[in-house]
Amino acid sequence: MTEAQGGVRGWAAARKGHLSRLRFTSLRLRLVVVFGLVALTAAVSASGIAYWLNREAVLTRTQDAVLGDFRQAMQTRAGTLPAHPSQDELQHTAGQMANSSQRFSVLLVAQDPAGKTVYGSSGGLDGFSLQDVPKSLRTAVNKQQDITSGNKYAYHLYWQRVVDHGTPYLVAGTRVIDGAATGYMLKSLEPEAKDLNSLAWSLGIATGLALVGSALLAQAAASTVLKPVQRLGVAARRLGEGKLDTRLRVSGTDELADLSRTFNDAAEALEKRVEDMAARDEASRRFVADMSHELRTPLTAITAVTEILEEELEAESGSMDPMIEPAVRLVVSETRRLNDLVENLMEVTRFDAGTARLVLDDVDLADQITACIDARAWLDAVDLDAERGIHARVDPRRLDVILANLIGNALKHGGSPVRVSVRLSDAESGEGAEIVIAVRDHGPGIPEDVLPHVFDRFYKASASRPRSEGSGLGLSIALENAHIHGGEITAANSPDGGAVFTLRLPRDASALTEESEKDTGKNGNAS
């Protein structure tokens, strides 16, 4: 069941990917659609006009030829009939008239000597009949017109196109001048209709080919326009990934070539700027590292002297002059502070240079935290909530640095009692379980404007008190040590009052050390 669901999800994801590439916001699809609509409009308009013109020309040509033959036959054949012909005479004359080259059917109507209406059809009794002639046409044919200077004949030839069972016909009728016979003609236009249908199909095929051609042309045009744009997008992504040596090949003198040149100029300027900034940053780190190393030599001597002075202060003999005792205590305190600052600076330079490494060991977290608190004489000020038996594979020295900075910061700024709690994340038995260590104080909390900066180097919450016992690097170093473990430290204010620093570390950081060793090996081989 799981495999089936996975297959369905994979198919759905692939289908979604194809649809996303065909979304209407795609420039390629829009170009194809626009080209197709323009070509379709032009082809349909041209085909419609061509069909209409050809249709009128074909029908008019056929109609004129048929009507001319019918008129001529009425004059030469029906005009020779007596005033009151018999049905046989009408039948014979209709047959002669139908033998025209146009092959139309003829119906003649007249009155015999007895005054009875008789009919003569070229198709016999079951052929062309008066019911096949529209009533309006019969009325127009039999209506006598007044003779005027503009109208020389009392009767005229009338015609009409009709459709019977899907077949078009031409129906015409007229009356013999000074005669008694009225003639009607029926001509099938089916051959012309077939020709026009063939023409329509041809025009439709031509329209389809034009649409396909326009789509291919749009695809070619889109490729010509979009390929440089796609290359620009790929180059921009590579540039965003940090590959600052990315450049575009410039060809031509159009707008796209100008865009490529502009991109190359911007990339070159960005690369130079980043190189300059990297050089300045490297110089700054080197200066801090060199300065820290240079300070250690005189600081070692100063520290030795201050230790002697501190022993004199603590001696019961009272050999220290009371007048200079405050100055000596100040020197001792500031020397310690300077020593801590130098050590912190050297640690920061190791992080910046990427040379900091983990030395892992299996530790019991409760024992590790207890040792950290005991070494700094904080047992009376810290409340530890940690069960024994929670083991983790971490760097003990770096974890001690993290805990010392977090607990020391809580005691200094929040006041005791400081509560330290240890727990595991929800996946306690899984390999991906996390260690969660929370350090909470009962002080006033951290101001909201200070929270985003508590881990910044040398950040002072109060500008009016720039000097303090700390160096301003403790929380920053703690955060770097958490990062090198693959963990994180967050700061927040507890709803019950006080600040809470939460340390999250993976229970086993071995994978990080393996990746670090691989990266080191690759860099060594590359060099």
Q: What is the pLDDT of residues 358-381, one digit of tens each?
A: 888 999 999 999 999 998 888 888
Q: What would the 3-class secondary structure string for 299-353 be?
A: HHHHHHHHHHHHHHHHCCCCCCCCCCHHHHHHHHHHHHHHHHHHHHHHHHHHHHH
Query: Do residues 98 and 188 lie in contact, with contact meaning Cβ atoms separated by under 8 Å?
Result: no
- Strand boundaries in 358-440, DSSP class E: 361-364, 382-385, 391-394, 418-424, 434-440
Based on the domain organization, do 483 and 367 belong to the same domain? yes
Based on the domain organization, do 370 and 442 belong to the same domain? yes
Q: What confidence score (pLDDT) does residue 370 get?
A: 92
Based on the domain organization, do 204 and 57 belong to the same domain? yes
Single out the residue in 293, 322, 351 at which a domain terminates: 351
* CATH assignment at residue 262: 1.10.287.130
For residue 100, give both structure tokens. 């025209």
In a domain, 485, yes or no: yes
Based on the domain organization, do 399 and 497 belong to the same domain? yes
- Which residues have CB under 8 Å from 188's CB, separation 6+? 167, 168, 169
Least Cα distance to 492 among 443, 446, 441 occurs for 446
Q: What confidence score (pLDDT) does residue 432 get?
A: 58
> Does 423 have pLDDT greater than 60?
yes
Q: How many angstroms separate the CA atoms of 121 and 104, rounded? A: 11
In a domain, 464, yes or no: yes
Encode pLDDT of 19-59 as tens digits.
Answer: 444 444 566 677 777 777 777 788 788 877 877 777 777 77
Based on the domain organization, do 64 and 133 belong to the same domain? no
Q: What is the CA radius of gyration of the chain?
A: 53
In a domain, 250, yes or no: no
In a domain, 115, yes or no: yes
* CATH assignment at residue 448: 3.30.565.10
Based on the domain organization, do 141 and 202 belong to the same domain? no
Q: What confidence score (pLDDT) does residue 331 get?
A: 80
In a domain, 8, yes or no: no
Based on the domain organization, do 347 and 377 belong to the same domain? no
Residue 460 pLDDT class (50, 70, 90 cuts): low
Q: How many angstroms separate the CA atoms of 454 and 477, rounded? A: 12
Based on the domain organization, do 295 and 433 belong to the same domain? no
Residue 426 pLDDT class (50, 70, 90 cuts): low
Q: Collapsing DSSP states into helix, strand and coil, what is residue 187?
A: strand
In a domain, 466, yes or no: yes
Q: How many domains does the chain have?
A: 4
Check: pTM over 0.75? Answer yes or no: no
Q: How many angstroms separate the CA atoms of 407 and 499, rounded? A: 11
Query: Do residues 445 and 494 lie in contact, with contact meaning Cβ atoms separated by under 8 Å?
Result: yes
Based on the domain organization, do 133 and 276 belong to the same domain? no
Helix axis angle for 474-484 and 325-353, nearest 10°, is 30
Least Cα distance to 79 among 178, 10, 6 occurs for 178
Place of tokens 């054949």: 77
Q: Collapsing DSSP states into helix, strand and coil, what is residue 107?
A: strand
Cα 37 to the center of its chain, rounded Å = 24
Q: Which residues pair with 500 in a beta bridge?
A: 440, 492
Based on the domain organization, do 67 and 83 belong to the same domain? no
Single out the residue in 317, 351, 385 at which a domain terminates: 351
* One-letter amino acid of 244: L
Based on the domain organization, do 219 and 291 belong to the same domain? no
In a domain, 13, yes or no: no
> Does 71 have pLDDT greater than 50?
yes
For residue 297, what are the domain limits? 255-351
Based on the domain organization, do 369 and 502 belong to the same domain? yes
For residue 257, give both structure tokens. 């070539």
Single out the residue in 327, 351, 375 at which a domain terminates: 351
In a domain, 6, yes or no: no
Over residues 462-471, the mean pLDDT reads: 49
Q: What confidence score (pLDDT) does residue 336 get?
A: 75
Over residues 305-328, the mean pLDDT reads: 73
Burial of 482 (0-12, 13-18, 19+ CB in 10 A): buried
* CATH assignment at residue 158: 3.30.450
